[in-house]
């Protein structure tokens, strides 16, 4: 499917990526809140979270997250790629 070098490159891109305590709390809250929600409900929340990220981060931080998000493409299957494309399209990226 994908060569080992590409996978290693992607993993290296994520190596220095860390979440601070506030971000981890948001992720936990998100997980707890949306575990039993539909895909559409989750999609709408992603849009809301994106708006918060734009407000709370510098443009460089925000673009770095989008860059890393795009870098995982080789690890996704076709269905996951379609969902990622839908999200990015909706977010205007």
* Residue 23, pLDDT score: 82
* Residue 66, pLDDT score: 85
The 10s digit of each residue's pLDDT in 6-46 is: 777 777 777 777 778 888 888 888 788 878 888 888 888 88
The 10s digit of each residue's pLDDT in 58-90 is: 999 988 888 888 888 888 889 999 988 988 888
Across the chain, the runs of DSSP E, i.e. the strands, are none
Mean pLDDT of all residues in 46-51: 87
Q: Are 69 and 80 in contact (CB under 8 A)?
A: no
- Computed from CA positions of residues 83, 28, 12, 16, in that sequence, does the dihedral angle turn out positive or negative? positive
Q: What H or E segment, with its residue span, contains residue 76?
A: none
Q: How far is CA 78 from the centre of its chain?
A: 17
Pairwise pLDDT comparison (11 vs 54), residue with the higher score: 54
Residue 2 has pLDDT above 60, yes or no: no
* Residue 3, pLDDT score: 67
């Amino acid at each position: 499917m994908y060569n080992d070098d590409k996978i290693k490159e992607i993993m290296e891109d994520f190596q220095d990526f860390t979440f601070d305590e506030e971000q981890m709390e948001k992720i936990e809250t998100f997980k707890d809140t949306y575990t039993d929600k539909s895909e559409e409900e989750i999609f709408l929340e992603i849009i809301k979270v994106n708006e918060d990220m734009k407000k709370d981060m510098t443009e460089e931080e925000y673009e770095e997250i989008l860059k890393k998000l795009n870098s995982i493409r080789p690890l996704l299957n076709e269905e996951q790629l379609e969902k990622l494309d839908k999200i990015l399209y909706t977010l205007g990226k």
